[in-house]
Amino acid sequence: MSAQPVPQTALPPAPDEQTSTWSPLRNGVFRLLWLAVLGSQVGTWMQTVGAQWLLVDRPNAAALVSLVQTAGTLPVVLLALPAGVLADSLDRRRLLIWVQLFQLTVGVLLTGLTMAGQTTPALLLTLTFALGCGMAVTGPTYQAVIPELVPRHEIRSAAALGSLGVNLARAVGPALAGVLVAHVGVAAVFGINAATLLVFAVVLLLWRPQPPQDAPLPEPFLAAMRAGGRYVRHSPAVRRSLLRIAVFILPAVSLWALLPLVSSQRLGMDASGYGLLLAAVGVGAVLGALVLPRLRAVLSDNRLLAAGSLTYALVLTLLALVPEPVVAAVALVPAGLCWMAVLTNASAELQLFLPRWVLARGLGTFLSVFFGGQAVGAFAWGLLADRVGLVPALLAAAAVTVAGAATIPVWPLIDTHHLNRDPAAPWPQPQLAVEPDRFAGPVVVEVTYTITAEDEPAFLSMTDALRRSRMRTGAVQWGVFRAGESPGHMVEVYVVPTWDEHLRQHSGRMTGADEELNRRVIALSTQPPTVVHLLPVDRGGGQR
């Protein structure tokens, strides 16, 4: 660290809330990648339906069919954060290419085995799990690429298009798979999924981004995992966002978990009718993509979340109390809109807030909460419906959704729009008489400020924010002390695991908001702060 303040970086221009949802599609690279991802998502849903159909006549079919969904999504819960580490440490385009080629290999193998009649349940679930591992890596990596493709003010629109693609795939994929399974066979469904992965890989190969300037050295894997966890733990805005996502997802997923039962038991509809209900949700998602910019222009993030939650609860109540197919189909349109609006807004705000160095890790944490909440919630609501009945379960889900909305004033989303999230380097590189090994540690940093009695309250009021800034960017311990021999000297002390971690604090981990905080703290010191780096030594007295 250095005591020399740097002129503050100007805040980026405020995003245009009326930016069209479709504006990112004017970017040719984004358009091709979005279409390729949409095709891959359609293929994934077709793959899921085909795998489930392959198991419907097996012994213990109910358990095996449910395990298909588990095998496909469990890897995202388990691997999204490690995948984010890889995406933050490696070239994201190359990582995506290799992952698609891996999934393509698995898809071709599954297609061939199915054509030969050799796909056992255990083998099918294993290969589905392997495809899920590829999806776990693709998710945070692709989302972290988006800010490289579109201007900052279009990130919300790009996120809306991503959510729109997910909902379109959810509506289109199962319908296409049903037709193909009935007329051609399951192997054709698996083959089309493999073909979509090939197309995605080809689009990635055709994309030739400019190499980043002064790219940092890759972080060691475990150190990067710990750094990502520390950032989330010491970022109140990220933690609150993840909490609000979990509070919404856990009851809201009841719709997806119980809709097949609503269709068959409450509405007396067959498989085609269920497909129409899913299509209604897809229509709502499209409408959500169209109106979301206007909603953001008139509603704060918290009011948007509250309105979406209450509307969603009303839909669950209607599904429980009004067993009419037309009413259900009409009600599912706003449900799709609310689902898309709430989750798209949360994802977009994280993409805007997270610094580039930890972007994929933060998004990986978001995906873990998102898919984990769906898995836990779907299981819980299905179990409750078995125990007490479908209608009480839907009403209970509606009540929990309303209760979650009632907690928004207590645990609101934290407004971060005013914070400068541009990368900053407020500290020049340290000048040492002894050059330590890059991975030597731990390293103790002492910063001594000269603070008058009049300025002491102002200084102490900023120490909590200072602690969080240091901990987010690499410190594992932090404290502030008064020098006993000189009461006017306040000493900030923090511990960093390695010298490499501290060097990363100097170059790349700080944002404009951290820089502004650093400037305001230094401004209270009547003398330029002095900085001491305490390096580890071995027992022989030599520096490690």
Q: Please, which residues have CB within 8 angstroms of residue 540's CB and are 6 or more apart in sequence?
A: none
Q: Which DSSP symbol is given to 178?
A: H
Tokens of 293: 């910019």
Distance CA(451)–CA(462), nearest Å, equals: 13
pLDDT value at residue 396: 95
DSSP assignment, residue 217? P
What are the pLDDT digits (tens) for 95-153?
999 999 999 999 999 999 999 888 888 899 899 999 999 999 998 899 888 888 888 88
Percent of the chain with pLDDT over 70: 93
More confident residue, 21 or 3: 21
For CA atoms 219, 224, 228, 233, the dihedral sign is negative
Q: For residue 224, is pLDDT > 80?
A: yes
Radius of gyration of the chain (CA): 26
> Which structure tokens are listed for 155?
């990130």
At residue 479, the 3 state secondary structure works out as strand
Q: Quick one: which of 349, 95, 363 has its CA closest to 228?
A: 363
Instruction: Output the pLDDT for position 108.
Output: 95
The larger pLDDT score, comparing residue 315 to residue 12, is at 315
Q: Per mean pLDDT, which range of 102-111, 219-228, 375-384 is the poorest?
A: 375-384
pLDDT at 84 over 60: yes
C-beta separation of 242 from 366 below 8 A: yes
What tokens does 89 get?
């440490």
pLDDT at 15: 41
Q: Where are the beta strands (DSSP E) in 145-227?
A: none
Closest listed residue to residue 433, CA positions, set 535, 530, 537 = 535
DSSP state at residue 263: I
CA pair distance 380, 248, nearest whole angstrom: 15
Residue 215's pLDDT is what? 64
In percent, the amount of the chain with pLDDT more than 90 equals 42
Confidence at residue 478, expressed as pLDDT on a 0 to 100 scale: 95
Model confidence over 412-469: pLDDT tens digits? Answer: 999 888 888 788 876 777 888 888 888 888 999 999 999 999 999 999 999 999 999 9
206 burial class (0-12, 13-18, 19+ CB within 10 angstroms)? Answer: exposed
For residues 273 and 306, is the Cβ–Cβ distance under 8 A?
no
pLDDT at 294 over 70: yes
The Cα–Cα gap between 508 and 497 comes to: 17
DSSP string, 125-166: HHHHHHHHHHHHHHHHHHHHHHHHHS-GGGHHHHHHHHHHHH
Q: Among all chains, which residue has been given the structure tokens 């429980």?
A: 320
Confidence of residue 88 (pLDDT cuts 50, 70, 90): confident
Average pLDDT over residues 404-411: 95
Q: Would the pLDDT of 178 be above 60?
A: yes
- Among 30-34, 179-183, 464-468, 501-505, which is the least confidently predicted range? 179-183
Residue 2 has pLDDT above 50, yes or no: no
Q: Quote the pLDDT of residue 12.
A: 39
- The band of 16, judged by pLDDT with boundaries at 50, 70 and 90, is very low
pTM for this model (two decimals): 0.82
Q: Is the pLDDT of residue 40 over 90?
A: yes
pLDDT of amino acid 81: 86
pLDDT digits (tens, 9 = 90+) for 479-526: 999 988 888 899 999 999 999 999 888 887 888 899 899 999 999 999
Mean pLDDT across 276-300? 84
The pLDDT value recorded for residue 429 is 79
Q: How many CB atoms lie within 10 A of CB 389?
A: 13
